[in-house]
Amino acid sequence: MAVDEQIRKQFDVNVFGVLDVIRATLPVFKRQGSGHYVNFSSFFGTWSMPPYSIYAASKFAVEGFSEAFAQEFAGFGIKTTIVEPSVYATEFFGESMQLAEKKQEYAPLYEAYEKGMSNIKTGDPAKAVKLIISILKSDNSPLRLAVGSQAAYTIREAYTNRIEEVNTWFERSAEAD
């Protein structure tokens, strides 16, 4: 499969698939004055790393439209939760994973990535599902739900770094008004 095809397939599944479900169900949710969208993103929807740039881009897209829709749909009694799981013992790293052809000039990057991934703790999918269901049944479900310790740590670190960078450049940024 060509790289362009891989990119389009990634967005067709992760972005347009979610949007298709929302478009199909929104009229029903509006009529009944309630509903709850559970849009699956990933901890890769809050930060990225080179081997997953396109996957992360598709999950960033889910984060963006889900945040906007949550505000828009709330007036109709419709909730939205963005689920941000880390790595679980699923087919994510199995046959469903399709990577672009590795290029020799990126060999050190691939080695570092593989070393890091070999140490990553994979979560139990059954525990993740139980957590998600319990949170959705609660009276106060969040807009975003990090699922798994790796997700919680990584997302917190990504947002902390982002805030620190904004703060570092805040005065200079404000000069552009």
Name the active-site residue from 42, 55, 86, 88: 55
Q: Judge whether 55 counts as a catalytic residue.
A: yes
Q: Classify burial at 7, counting beta carbons within 10 Å of its beta carbon; exposed 0-12, middle 13-18, buried 19 or more.
A: middle
Q: Judge whether 88 counts as a catalytic residue.
A: no
Q: Confirm if 124 and 86 have CB atoms less than 8 A apart.
A: no
Q: Judge whether 41 counts as a catalytic residue.
A: yes
The DSSP output letter for 45 is G
Name the active-site residue from 37, 42, 58, 59: 59
| Size (the chain), residues | 177
- Return the H-helix or E-strand segment holding 147: strand 144-147
Please compute Rg for the chain using Cα positions.
18
List active site positions: 41, 55, 59
